[in-house]
Amino acid sequence: MNKAFITGVTGQDGAYLSRFLLEKGYEVHGMQPRCEVDNTERLADILSHPRFFLHAGDLTDGGNVFRLLHEVQPDEIYNLGAQSHVATSFQIPEQTANVDALGVLRLLEAIRTLNLGAKFYQASSSELFGNAPAPQHEKTPFQPCSPYAAAKLYAYWMVRTYRESYGIFAVNGILFNHESPLRGEDFVTRKVTKAVAEIYCGLKTHITLGNLDAVRDWGHARDYVEGMWLMLQQSEPQDYILATGQTHSVRQLVEIAFAEIGREIVWRGMGPDEVGYERKTGDILVKIDPQFYRPNDVHFLCGDATKAYEDLGWTPKTSFRSLIQEMLHSDLAQVERSKHMDHLKEKNERVFRHAA
């Protein structure tokens, strides 16, 4: 039986990859960072799976990384753990470097010194390209423009260095943005679908955003974890881009999500004074808050995944519209559930007050 070790198992990709590998018959071991609130929400349905194990750990603790890898002796290691929020990396650049750059070095050093022979997948990112000309492919020169991207660039080169110097099977999956109903709520796709669901249910009047003109190549996380696995099944370690080749701006994302609940958005004004209002009612549904602007932003990302298609047979299966529909419907169901719970709580409190 194949044994996989996943860092970042409690995150979006960790949750999809764990399910994917369990279905393939793997024994899955995940590194769970300590957290004051429960961080296993995304893993709820597999926590009691007989082949799924969680281990307390942290990528900033070298001793812990060595001990865990020594104990588990995995065949495949997927390093998905990271401080993954680009805007936040401007606020905590040192912590971002410790986890996203040095964390990778700790894993590679453990593989080398423990003589593990495990295959290693590194979650590299399209952020490495910064504002390099599109479409970006494996040979496009990198131009990182955030502390997050610079940390990931160090990790990228460490993977190549350990592969070329020590013959370790280590690969970089350079993945463009991928989303899902499990996406963190402070990434723009999920922020939009959650707010649209709340506006639909009358819990909110509008959403506040930053740069509406940023363009991204957005795919579905479920499709991308298959690509990660395929990279480790090759006979030679190589780096691959995973992307859809389709682009949308944040503005189009907003229009598509609101159209799903029957609201047509029209734009008025410029820069921080721009608003998005509903054509029919004139209600303002989108406002700008410069607090969501970044000190430096990546304007246009569009990936060319030809190499992944040719070598791995990988193609994305989910269109942007169906991704947004899936996320929105999941958020609508979630908002309805929490409204129902609030209603029950209120009713119980009324009964309790009456009885007292």
Smaller CB separation from ligand F7E, 29 or 42: 42
Site for ligand F7E in 13-72 (CB under 6 A): none
Question: Would you count residue 18 as binding ligand NAP (CB under 6 A)?
Answer: no
209 binds ligand F7E (CB under 6 A): yes
* Secondary structure (DSSP) of 74-115: -SEEEE--S---HHHHHHSHHHHHIIIIIHHHHHHHHHHHTT
Of 295, 350, 256, 1, nearest to 148 (Cα)?
Answer: 295
Q: Residues touching ligand NAP: how many (CB under 6 A)?
A: 26
DSSP-derived secondary structure letter, 300: B
Site string for ligand F7E, 179-208 (x = CB under 6 A): -------xxx--x-----------------
**For residue 67, which of 8, 4, 110 has the smallest C-alpha distance?**
110
Q: Give the alpha-carbon dihedral of 115, 120, 123, 126, to 10 degrees.
A: 110
Give CA–CA dist 26/6, Å, rounded.
Answer: 12
Rounded Cα distance between 44 and 46, Å, is: 6
Task: Pick between residue 58 and residue 255 the one whose CB is nearest to ligand NAP.
Answer: 58
Contacts with ligand NAP, 144-183, as mask; x by CB under 6 A: -------------------------------x-xx-----
Q: By CB under 6 A, name the one of 107, 199, 250, 257 that touches ligand F7E.
A: 250
If one asks whether residue 132 binds ligand F7E (CB under 6 A), the answer comes out as: no
Assess 8 for contact with ligand NAP (CB under 6 A).
Answer: yes
Q: Which residue has the tokens 């859809």?
A: 244
Instruction: Report the residue number, 45 or 94, with the smaller CB distance to ligand F7E.
Output: 94
| Choice from 21, 68, 83, 320 touching ligand NAP (CB under 6 A) | 83
86 near ligand F7E, rule: CB under 6 A: yes
Which of 4, 1, 30 has the alpha carbon at shortest distance from 119? 4
**Sequence-separated (6 or more) residues with CB below 8 Å from residue 276:** 254, 258, 265, 266, 267, 284, 285, 286, 287
Query: Where do contacts with ligand F7E occur on this chain (CB under 6 A)?
Result: 84, 86-87, 125-127, 176-177, 186-188, 191, 209-211, 214, 216, 250, 292, 294, 297
